[in-house]
């Protein structure tokens, strides 16, 4: 049973209350600004596991002078959420140590806050603040290598600026938000059912993760009780999504160290998994499987077939790590220490590879997963991030087998109506997507339409960890290290 506490605090009380929550083992899951009648409101969601606990601190602000004390000194993720909030809502985090823009690039006009109701159409863009103030690293032999934002291939845009001596990276700055879509504003005014296809498309390779987090949030807000069988079906879909993405990453990592044969073998396995996805939901990326109040499976995946795939993947991983060139390139490359992972608020396999065992499947469960245990590494390098993925594939297959064993025959689970019980309500959904913990928080108007949807993708937390891990690495290892993190641009650039 989830314990969710909502407390209304003043700006002066905020830091003290937040500090006590951090001391009690909570993490900051998201920060959301809201535009209420006559006021701005900021919601801080703190979560902790074992047992599942969620605490929200709500702070009301004067809309004419929206200033809130910064929590950046207490939490690195808080500082990033605050900068995002300032760019989109104009809420000023007083005392922030790095108050420069985060989301809005410097050609965005001053004083225009696109999430505000009075924002109107975008004004003419120009260059009001000049070029982005990159930190210049100086010294004998130091030079800069700019990469992007437009890249070869199909990846989305991001600008990376390396300060190097020879091939050694002294500092990397990743500049994102080139594809900011205003997706959170697109939810406003929609019926929750109309918002589900939008949630599925937050990040294309995480259709189940974001759809499920959204549905759990709406269901909590509306008091919708989901049948146990449907929750098990949802968990099956979540693990299927983890499987095909992890297999893809294992092959891509091998490819980045010139072992193209293993990449081809991983691609062969990935295609098998995508075909299973299509059999189960009618869509290769599993769209349509998670519904408000339920789940739909056209067919049940065969555990024996999945175990054979897991054995195939284990052989690919063994061949990779048994190759001296692969092992040499992976081992000791781009180490993210446990302390850095904790301080940055890293999530998912990035955190677990550094020995930080965070996993919403254990900490915020929505159904019983039977044999599930958190898979963690120790060394925090590319090797550990590869090994954690490989081990999670085997673990996910066993979880799927357990879940299917408890499901009745047939694939479709009933979908009870989700209705607002009266008055404005809110809900939170937390799931362990394949990249890490996903959080959605929704608020509904009395008529049941969405007034706010706040999304926290794990990539928002993990992008700052990439430059930290790359410090001291060499430039030729950047593609390999970047793939070992495999962060989402779309999930970050909402």
Q: Which two tokens stand for residue 223?
A: 């008091």
Say whether pLDDT at 421 is over 60: no
Higher-confidence residue: 301 or 134? 301
Higher-confidence residue: 115 or 109? 115
Say whether pLDDT at 423 is over 80: no
CA nearest neighbour of 428 among 219, 233, 244, 217:
217
Question: What's the CATH superfamily of 3-94?
Answer: NADH:ubiquinone oxidoreductase Nqo5 subunit (3.30.460.80)
pLDDT (average), residues 62-72: 95
pLDDT (average), residues 371-391: 96
Distance CA 450, CA 184 (A): 10
State the pLDDT at residue 419.
62
Fold of 183-456: Cytochrome-c3 Hydrogenase; chain B (1.10.645)
How buried is residue 246: exposed, middle or buried, by Cβ count under 10 Å (0-12/13-18/19+)? buried
Do β-strands 67-69 and 92-94 pair in parallel, antiparallel, or remain unpaired?
A: parallel
Minimum mean pLDDT range among 73-82, 146-155, 220-229? 146-155
Higher-confidence residue: 173 or 154? 173
State the pLDDT at residue 261.
96
What is the DSSP code (8-state) at residue 62? -
State the pLDDT at residue 122.
82
> Residue 61 is inside which H or E element, if any?
strand 53-61
Percentage of the chain modeled with pLDDT above 90? 84
Say whether pLDDT at 356 is over 60: yes
pLDDT tens digits for range 329-351: 999 999 999 999 999 999 999 99
Distance CA 293, CA 231 (A): 9
Say whether pLDDT at 420 is over 60: no
The ranges assigned to domains in the chain are 3-94, 183-456
pLDDT tens digits for range 80-107: 999 999 999 999 999 999 988 999 888 8
Is residue 236 left, alpha or beta, with left meaning phi > 0 and alpha meaning psi from -120 to 50? alpha
Q: Which residue shows structure tokens 């059912």?
A: 193
Say whether pLDDT at 411 is over 80: no
> What does pLDDT average to over the chain?
93
State the pLDDT at residue 462.
98
CA angle, 440 then 444 then 449, to 5°: 110
> Residue 55: which pLDDT band, with cuts at 50, 70 and 90?
very high
Provide CB contacts within 8 A for 157, sequence distance 6+.
148, 149, 150, 151, 178, 179, 489
pLDDT (average), residues 123-127: 81
Task: Look at residue 244 and give its three-state secondary structure.
Answer: helix
Say whether pLDDT at 484 is over 90: yes
Higher-confidence residue: 206 or 132? 206
> Residue 207: which pLDDT band, with cuts at 50, 70 and 90?
very high
CA nearest neighbour of 196 among 187, 188, 205, 204:
187
pLDDT (average), residues 133-138: 84
How buried is residue 50: exposed, middle or buried, by Cβ count under 10 Å (0-12/13-18/19+)? exposed
pLDDT tens digits for range 445-473: 999 999 999 999 999 999 999 999 999 99
| 3-94 and 183-456 agree in CATH topology | no
């Amino acid at each position: 049973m989830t314990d969710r506490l909502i407390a209304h605090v003043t700006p002066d009380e905020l830091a003290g209350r937040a500090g006590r929550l951090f001391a009690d083992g909570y993490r900051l899951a998201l920060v959301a600004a809201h535009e209420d009648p006559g006021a701005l409101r900021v919601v801080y969601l703190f979560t902790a596991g074992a047992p599942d606990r969620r605490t929200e601190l709500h702070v009301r602000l004067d809309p004419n002078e929206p200033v809130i004390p910064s929590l950046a000194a207490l939490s690195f993720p808080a500082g990033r959420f605050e900068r995002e909030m300032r760019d989109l809502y104009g809420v000023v985090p007083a005392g922030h140590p790095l108050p420069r823009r985060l989301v809005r690039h410097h050609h965005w006009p001053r004083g225009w806050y696109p999430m505000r109701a009075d924002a109107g159409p975008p004004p003419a863009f120009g260059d009001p603040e000049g070029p982005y103030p990159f930190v210049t690293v100086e010294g004998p032999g130091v030079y800069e290598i700019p990469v992007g934002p437009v890249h070869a291939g199909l990846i989305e845009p991001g600008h990376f600026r390396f300060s190097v001596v020879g091939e050694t990276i002294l500092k990397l700055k990743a500049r994102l938000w080139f594809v900011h879509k205003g997706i959170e504003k697109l939810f406003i005014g929609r019926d929750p059912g109309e918002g589900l296809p939008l949630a599925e498309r937050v990040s294309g390779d995480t259709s189940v993760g974001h759809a499920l987090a959204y549905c759990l949030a709406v269901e909590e807000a509306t008091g919708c009780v989901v049948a146990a069988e449907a929750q098990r079906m949802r968990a099956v879909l979540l693990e299927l999504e983890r499987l095909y993405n992890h297999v893809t990453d294992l092959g891509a990592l091998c490819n980045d160290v010139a072992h193209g044969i293993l990449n081809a073998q991983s691609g062969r396995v990935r295609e098998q998994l995508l075909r299973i996805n299509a059999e189960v939901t009618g869509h290769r990326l599993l769209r349509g499987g998670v519904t408000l109040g339920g789940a739909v499976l056209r067919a049940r995946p065969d555990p024996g077939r999945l175990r054979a795939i897991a054995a195939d993947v284990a052989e690919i991983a063994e061949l990779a790590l048994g190759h001296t060139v692969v092992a040499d390139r992976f081992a000791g490359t781009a180490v993210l220490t446990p302390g850095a992972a904790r301080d940055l608020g890293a999530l998912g396999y990035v955190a677990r590879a550094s020995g930080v065992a965070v996993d919403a499947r254990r900490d915020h469960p929505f159904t019983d997963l039977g044999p599930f245990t958190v898979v963690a590494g120790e060394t925090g390098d590319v090797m550990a991030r590869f090994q954690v993925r490989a081990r999670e594939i085997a673990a996910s297959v066993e979880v799927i087998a357990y879940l299917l064993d408890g499901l009745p025959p047939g694939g479709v689970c009933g979908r009870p109506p989700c209705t607002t019980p009266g008055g404005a309500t809110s809900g939170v959904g937390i799931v362990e997507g394949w990249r890490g913990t996903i959080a959605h928080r929704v608020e509904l108007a009395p008529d049941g339409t969405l007034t706010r949807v706040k999304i926290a993708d794990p990539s928002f937390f993990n992008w700052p960890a990439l430059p930290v891990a790359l410090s001291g690495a060499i430039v030729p290892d950047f593609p390999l290290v970047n793939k070992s993190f495999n962060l989402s641009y779309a999930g970050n650039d909402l």
